[in-house]
Amino acid sequence: MELPFAEAYKIKMVEPLRKSTREEREQWIKEAHYNLFGLKSDMVYIDCITDSGTGAMSDRQWAAMMMGDEAYAGARSFFHLKETITKITGFEWIIPTHQGRAAENVLFSYLVKEGDIVPGNSHFDTTKGHIEGRKAFAVDCTIDEAKDTQLEIPFKGNVDLNKLEKCLAENADKIPFIIVTITNNTAGGQPVSMENLRGVRAIADKYGKRVLFDSARFVENAYFIKTREAGYADKTIKAICREMFNLADGMTMSSKKDGLVNMGGFIATRHEDWYEGAKGFCIRYEGFLTYGGMNGRDMDALAVGLDENTELETIETRIKQVQYLAARLDEFGIPYQRPVGGHALFVDASLILTNVPKEEFPAQTLAIELYKEAGVRGCEIGYILADRDPITRENRFGGLDLLRLCIARRTYTNNHMDVIAVALKNVFDRRNEIKHGYRITWEAPLLRHFTVQLEPVQE
Ligand code: F0G
């Protein structure tokens, strides 16, 4: 008999979890104005709000932290990190930052000007925020298939090359670079194929443009290329990563995801002019060029994390846990963005809470119901997160309305996955009784989902 798959690690340290009662949770979520970001983590049993900075570090990473060099300038830890990034990506010019959006802020401060257009595949909300905040425009060129959650195709995060080419042909002089997000978080943690990355490169070259990878989950993307794209089954994850980055001019990184650390980010590029242009903004916003808002010890932990995560056993364990949860949802017939992506389940609220009008935010409603049911905290990736159109100020109802359940790396067991699945099934079973959602009572002009306040449309 073939041995079953099991985690490529054993557990060395644990953190107790607190369970709560339904009555407690109903009170807490009301006090949080029905915004799950407003809850204290002790009010949460299983936290699926993000996979960002929530994972467990390995013993090798903790050991590396002891080696941290906290020098203000020229820290050994920086060079450890720089050499590791160059080995994995081929990029020689590195600017550390305290997290991914800081990398965006530093680089875009140099590259993005008012009136610019930045085409890409479903820009992440902070990426969009850093573009729109500069009075520039993020043009989404994701393939249309990504909008059909029930369609099974292997690379649903791909860029539509026709849309991209059209955007370039019409606006070439306004485009500072093309951005490709690997994996495509907003479309459901969906991967981008190597073939598609090659296609983007070809179009960029034709118009003399550079390509930036938003690389938060680049290792997950490499794993899907290995397991789904012809010709890559026998290549190592590291070789696939290198081949992907060969097609880019630079990257912004949120190390809190595939860097396997709790905080950190960086910019890496092959172009000295990008480095020269951005470095002053690093010093202004983040810190000196050899630490950029990071502790020396954290740069060491990141170097080890990047090396560890680009090994097959680590990334395979991660993806297989997400796929385990997806298989449980399949048993219960709960619809989610198919096939499941790398870091999360994206449950399709519009197919579940069909009685809740879109103006009352079905995915947010589902997130609240799931929290009340079992203390599982997910996150709306839908109409609230989509913000308002910067010109018309209307709600943007054109995209998907999803409940995202992120799986932290090396943190929960498959027993926890079972709890999540059954809690969701219990809500799913009474979906037709849920007829009303929530209305906004307060919102910020940009990135509103973090701080939005809501009230039930009907008590
Ligand atoms: N790019 C992508 C694709 C992301 O998913 C994120 C963060 C960022 C950039 C920004 O990085 O958080 O380090 O500043 N995503 C988290 C999430 C917050 O929950 O998906 P950051």
DSSP H/E element including 204: helix 194-206
Question: What is the model's pLDDT at position 390?
Answer: 81
Question: What is the model's pLDDT at position 458?
Answer: 86
Mean pLDDT of 224-242: 98
Mean pLDDT of 151-169: 98
Q: What is the pLDDT of residues 282-301, one digit of tens each?
A: 999 999 999 999 999 999 99
Instruction: Please identify, by atom number, the ligand 1 atom nearest to the C-alpha of residue 265.
Output: 13
pLDDT at 441 > cutoff 80: yes
Pocket flag, ligand 1, residue 216 (CB < 6 Å): yes
Which residues make Cβ contacts (< 8 Å) with residue 306, sequence separation at least 6? 84, 85, 88, 255, 258, 259, 260
Active-site residue flag, 130 = no
Question: What is the model's pLDDT at position 326?
Answer: 98
Q: Average per-residue pLDDT in the chain?
A: 97
Nearest of 451, 369, 447, 419 to residue 127 by alpha carbon: 447
Give domain limits for the chain. Answer: 22-44+313-456, 59-309
CB 50 within 8 A of CB 379: yes
pLDDT at 166 > cutoff 90: yes
Active-site residue flag, 257 = yes
Q: How far apart are CA 151 and CA 147, in angstroms?
A: 9
Q: Taking the model in full, what pTM does it have?
A: 0.96
Active-site residue flag, 216 = yes
Question: What is the model's pLDDT at position 447?
Answer: 84
pLDDT band at 240 (very low <50, low <70, confident <90, very high): very high
Q: How far is the CA of 344 from the centre of ligand 1 (A)?
A: 13
Q: Beta strands 344-348 and 402-406: pairing type? A: antiparallel
Note the residue count of the chain: 459
Active-site residue flag, 273 = no
pLDDT at 417 > cutoff 80: yes
Pocket flag, ligand 1, residue 121 (CB < 6 Å): no
**Active-site residue among 214, 258, 300, 401?**
214
Active-site residue flag, 449 = yes
pLDDT band at 278 (very low <50, low <70, confident <90, very high): very high
Question: What is the model's pLDDT at position 357?
Answer: 97
- Residue of higher predicted confidence among 391 and 442: 442
SS3 call for 101:
helix
Q: How far apart are CA 97 and CA 255, in angstroms?
A: 9
Mean pLDDT of 336-341: 97
34 token code pair = 């029905």
DSSP H/E element including 276: helix 272-285
**Active-site residue among 226, 257, 343, 416?**
257
Residue 149: cis peptide before it, omega within 30 degrees of 0: no
Residue 191: cis peptide before it, omega within 30 degrees of 0: no
Q: What is the pLDDT of residues 347-406, one digit of tens each?
A: 999 999 999 999 999 999 999 999 999 999 999 999 999 889 888 999 999 888 999 999
Of all protein residues, the one whose alpha carbon is nearest to atom 19 of ligand 1 is 50
- In this structure, how many other beta carbons lie within 10 angstroms of the beta carbon of residue 330? 14
The strand ranges marked E within 90-245 are: 93-97, 117-120, 137-140, 178-181, 211-214
Mean pLDDT of 172-196: 96
Question: What is the model's pLDDT at position 125?
Answer: 87
Task: Indicate the fold that domain 59-309 takes in CATH.
Answer: Aspartate Aminotransferase; domain 2 (3.40.640)
Q: How far apart are CA 146 and CA 141, in angstroms?
A: 11
Nearest of 124, 99, 420, 150 to residue 285 by alpha carbon: 99
282 token code pair = 């690093």
Type of residue numbered 169: A
SS3 call for 362:
helix
pLDDT band at 459 (very low <50, low <70, confident <90, very high): low
CATH architecture of 22-44+313-456: Alpha-Beta Complex (3.90)
pLDDT at 426 > cutoff 70: yes
Pocket flag, ligand 1, residue 100 (CB < 6 Å): yes
Q: How far is the CA of 282 from the centre of ligand 1 (A)?
A: 19
Active-site residue flag, 72 = yes
Of all protein residues, the one whose alpha carbon is nearest to atom 13 of ligand 1 is 100
The strand ranges marked E within 182-232 are: 211-214
CB 167 within 8 A of CB 139: yes
Q: How far is the CA of 50 from the centre of ligand 1 (A)?
A: 9
Active-site residue flag, 307 = no
**Active-site residue among 5, 9, 72, 397?**
72
Pocket flag, ligand 1, residue 221 (CB < 6 Å): no
